[in-house]
Amino acid sequence: MTHWTTAQVTALAPDAASLKAGEKLSQPRQWQTLGQMEGLLWGEIKGSGKNPYQTAIVLAEPAFKCSCPSRKFPCKHGLGLALILASSPSALNASEPPAWLWEWLDKREQRAQKKAEKTAAQNEPVDEATQQKRTAAQQKRNAAREDKIDAGVAELQRWLFDQIRQGLSQQDDAQWQRMAARMIDAQAPGLARRLQAAASLRYQGGAWQQTLLSELGKLHLLLEAWQRRDSLPIELQADVLTQIGFTQSKDELLVLPGMADHWWVLGQVQEDDGQMRTQRTWLYGAQSQRYALLLDFAVQKQPMTLRPAIGQVIVGELVFYPSAVPLRALLREDETTIYPNSPLQEELYSSIPAITLADNFSAYAKALTVNPWLSQFPFTLTHVHMVRQETQWLLVDNAQQAIPLSISDEQGWILLGESGGHTLSVFGEWDGNTLSICGTPQPQGRV
């Protein structure tokens, strides 16, 4: 049976309050019934009404069902049931599912069948004339969007020049917000996000002027690249389009060649901006010896895609998004197997060579020469020590090179305590200034 960790369940929670409520329902004795069959969990728990709440989870997706009136997804009952799987899997007895569960599964199957029929109808061959009309309409829409972006880019360039002439300290929030909204109107959401991120730098203290000027320089470079995109290499064109805000459908990606390998989960991090949650899962291939990034999104109150925990191994095929520095990838789900406690973990752990800070900085510099808009770059460090210098935590390697960490003082002391004063193996994201630790990877069960 598939095993979930507490960290994976935590990632599914729509908010902290739901997780806390779910933790209070994570004791098997609180449930009237608990059961499981391959890939499916269910339970019944007394609520405020006459009848117990009926809760179920399909693990593969994951998909949650509960008869409680909560509008959160998953609700506290679903989280409580998932936490039982993580902490007390033996409490889930193998038994025949109840009738209400079969009814829910039947309805899901009917919806899935209708969706498949609709997709099949959309993919049915069409005559040449119809296809030509569709292609012409798509080209017209693309051209119209490019015209809007061209106008927005020209306006943004003039605005940037004005801000530099006036001075960075003369700007106010209203100016930044108006220009970000203008980029949304120009169908360039990537530029709007960059403007909003740059505006927030003014409140971070320290040498914010230097940092802001650097970000505006990257933004100016992106605007120039958009205007000269046709002369750029194909891979760099893809990066420019991504930075502007163009997206690529999964169907388009899945027709591209993939890379099969044993992928070790090195690190994972979640961010929440109040409207959207973002999850980054970093992998490392045993044979290819390259990094891959799985990027997932979830709006508030929706569950996040469940990814394997740090230290687990995925055997499967990845398709990389076109890029001058291909990192982001798409997992072919139907060809993936997860081995939670496999000898492959130890083999893959042993295959990673000793990596110094110089090695990482060299790789980062090389990547920047072909894609100057990298926001996070994977760093793996082995045999490093935690060092506290005044108020700053550092990692120091055997060559006595140091790298600053983006970490709270409390987290730094915790990590130092976990190391016991010995060297660490650390995986993190380098943003050009500090390293954010995403994991201290090792095979599960390794001491």
Ranges of the chain with pLDDT below 70: 1-2, 119-126, 170-171, 300-301, 334-354, 441-447
Distance CA 215, CA 221 (A): 10
Of 440, 178, 140, give the one whose Cα is nearest residue 311.
440
Q: Which has the closest alpha carbon to 443: 249, 241, 265?
A: 265
Cα Dmax for the chain: 73
Q: What is the pTM of this model?
A: 0.75
Q: Which residues pair with 279 in a beta bridge?
A: 270, 296
Q: What's the token pair of residue 402?
A: 């140091």
